[in-house]
Amino acid sequence: MNDILILLAGVACAGVGGELFVRGAVGIARSARISPGIIGATVGAFATSSPELSVSVNSALAGKPQIALGDALGSNVVNIALILGLALVISAIRSPRSGMKRDFPVALGVPVLTFLIFLDGTLSRLDGILMLGLFAAWLTFTAIEAAGQRSAAPAVLSGRSAWVSILLSLIGLAFLIAAGSLIVSGAKGIAHAYGIDEFIIGATLVAVGTSAPELATALIAKLRGHDEVGLGTLLGSNIFNGLFIVPVAASIHPIVVRWDEVAIALFFGLAALIVPYPDRKGLIRRRQGVLLLIMYAAYLAAVITKGAG
């Protein structure tokens, strides 16, 4: 019972911290005249991926990097199949052409690359370093685009002053760091108490918990009419998870896991990105959101069935 309460406290911290961090970071970035989509894909994605980063470092240092891997891969499925699916059910989303060209191809390539690396069952420190190099290349390209784009960006999530935004970011970061520690502690306790595989617990409970900030950001952005921010945050978070969070864990402690376990999360992660790909007009429709929610239910069934087998 205590482990469940610890996990729930971590989820609460992730939700509060993620929203505060994103609100503050977006306010700072807006003052630099960066477009909302790039803000979401970089600053917003980094902020909302902070729980995954904390989980990754803590679990790898504890010698349990499988939790980090399951969390990151599971969070990628949650981000698109569950969170984007819920946002789309509210109403259709229009994706800007620049964001579609910049982020969708990279997000699609991440699960394919991860699957190829895991064919031997191990993600080594060298693999992690190489993946971090790819992440740095994507981030550099995005920064160059942002520098060339510098134009007055519309209001995104708030209209606060720079100092208030900085304060919100710091408070949010503190909550996110606490969330990572609490979620890892609670998840490890539950996994041990019920004999659940560490990868499975990471891909389900931990993944949903650490995706709480993405859920808050996407739904707030949708309800306030800032689709570009929400979509950019979700795609950017998937790239952060795949090319930064997982490699960081592998750099600390090599990750050894059965490739068939990884294949389930990677397959659904890739399929979930294909389903909502925008049409020629950049529109992602509500029916695609319904398909995503069905896909998330199928993912949970597949992971749980595999863990019970």
* Residue 182: band (very low, low, confident or very high) from pLDDT cuts 50, 70, 90: confident
By the 10 Å C-beta count (0-12 exposed, 13-18 middle, 19+ buried), 231 is classed as buried
* Residue 191: band (very low, low, confident or very high) from pLDDT cuts 50, 70, 90: confident
pLDDT of the residue at 82: 93
pLDDT of the residue at 309: 59
* Residue 176: band (very low, low, confident or very high) from pLDDT cuts 50, 70, 90: confident
Is the confidence at residue 307, as pLDDT, over 70? no
User: DSSP assignment of 176-226, as one string?
Assistant: HHHHHHHHHHHHHHHHHHHT--HHHHIIIIIHHHHTHHHHHHHHHHHHTT-
Cα separation of 292 and 76, whole Å? 13
Cβ pair 276, 292 in contact under 8 A: yes
Cβ pair 171, 276 in contact under 8 A: no
Mean pLDDT of the chain: 82
Cα separation of 263 and 141, whole Å? 29
pLDDT of the residue at 245: 93
Has residue 8 been placed in a domain? no
Has residue 226 been placed in a domain? yes
Q: What is the pLDDT of residues 148-159, one digit of tens each?
A: 766 544 544 445
Q: What is the pLDDT of residues 59-91, one digit of tens each?
A: 888 888 888 888 888 889 999 999 999 999 988
Residues 162-176, mean pLDDT to the nearest whole number: 81
Has residue 292 been placed in a domain? yes
What's 139's domain CATH number? 1.20.1420.30
Is the pTM here over 0.75, yes or no?
Answer: yes
| Of the candidates 258, 230, 247, 288, the residue with the CA atom closest to the CA atom of residue 79 | 230
Distance of alpha carbon 59 from the chain centroid: 17
Cβ pair 213, 19 in contact under 8 A: yes
Domain total for the chain? 1
Extended beta strands in the chain, E state:
93-94, 122-123, 255-256, 283-284
pLDDT of the residue at 172: 81
Q: Which domain holds residue 244?
A: 40-149+195-308
% of the chain at pLDDT higher than 70? 90
pLDDT of the residue at 1: 62
Least confident of 44-53, 84-93, 192-201: 192-201
Has residue 25 been placed in a domain? no
Has residue 185 been placed in a domain? no
Q: Is 35 left (phi over 0), alpha (psi -120 to 50) or beta?
A: beta
Has residue 200 been placed in a domain? yes
Least confident of 35-44, 64-73, 121-130, 282-291: 35-44
Residues 204-221, mean pLDDT to the nearest whole number: 77
Read off the amino acid at residue 149: Q
Cα separation of 265 and 206, whole Å? 14
pLDDT of the residue at 124: 92
| b/e burial code for range 134-164 (CB count within 10 A of at least 16 → b) | bbeebbeebeebbeeeeeebeebbbebeeee
23-27, 167-171, 244-248: which is most confident? 244-248
* Residue 128: band (very low, low, confident or very high) from pLDDT cuts 50, 70, 90: very high
Is the confidence at residue 192, as pLDDT, over 90? no
Residues 185-197, mean pLDDT to the nearest whole number: 76
Has residue 10 been placed in a domain? no
Is the confidence at residue 160, as pLDDT, over 70? no
Has residue 173 been placed in a domain? no
